[in-house]
Amino acid sequence: MKKILTIVATAMLMMAVPQITHAATVGTVTANPSLNLRQSAVTSATILASIPKSTQVTILSKNASNWYNVTYNGKTGWVSGSYLSVKTIATTTTAVPQAAVPAPAATNKTVGTVTANPSLNLRQSAVASATVLASIPKNTQVTILSKNASNWYNVTYNGKTGWVSGSYLSVSAIPVSRSGSGSSDLVNHALSLQGIPYVYGGTSRSGFDCSGYTQYVFKGSGISLPRTTFEQFRVGSSVNKAQLQPGDLVFFTTYATGASHVGIYIGGGSFVHASSSGVIISSLGSSYYSSRYLGARRVR
């Protein structure tokens, strides 16, 4: 009887746990007898492996020359789309209930309030003659990233990152919450990589793709993430958008159905990510990303 009750209780628990359906883009090899997995998207590139006909591989991205960045047998490389049958499949995973966690610790974030009337120019570099990226209205609060010796501040505003003169900025520290002592270090590490170019399949300072970037940043904090965006969307615990904390992973549906782009939330409604323009800061509130927002995960 005890064994029967245990089985029934386990079944009821499984029924109570929500199921999450994701979409993944996969390709089936049509080349006979096999298709070469290459280090880069050219036929002269080094062969990493031979993928047998009818084998299914996970697709990470596609370039303009009809080459696909895929994973096969633990390796990531490129295959010609001429020998790949591509489709989207649905997969279901069980959401793991989030254990109770202690209340977030308090820390400080440095912000600046514009004092210039009617507005302050956000410039591309820290000189008065630099290109104007935006005009920031008086009394607007911006997030400060750094300050140089000439009293210019590197700030983020409305999804843009640039420089403003400290002569027209009232600087202060405000309390924010974070989930642990490592969150600040992780975000600082992520921000330090701004400007590194985008590279398909990139996982190093020579160039990143979006999931290669997040994997690299988290590895620096001793946290192991899977290689692909789709796989990263399955780790950790789900976070409501209104409860985002710095260091959370944010996901978007872009070139493919499901989780196909990922970044790291840094606070203030902004996130840092490896976009086609390289590692940059963008706003969750921008028309592009707000319409493609899929969800967030906390893995710390």
Residues annotated as catalytic are: 210, 261, 273
Check: CB of residue 261 under 8 Å from CB of residue 229. Answer: yes
Give the list of residues 6+ apart from residue 242 with CB closer than 8 angstroms, or none.
Answer: none
CA–CA separation, 38 and 77 (whole Å): 5
CA distances from 212 to 32, 196, 274, 299 (A): 31, 12, 9, 16
CA–CA separation, 272 and 191 (whole Å): 7
CA distances from 298 to 63, 146, 211, 215, 235 (A): 30, 26, 15, 14, 8
Check: CB of residue 84 under 8 Å from CB of residue 67. Answer: no
Label residues 6-43 b or e (16+ Cβ within 10 Å = b).
eeeeeeeeeeeeeeeebebbbbebebeeebbbbeebee
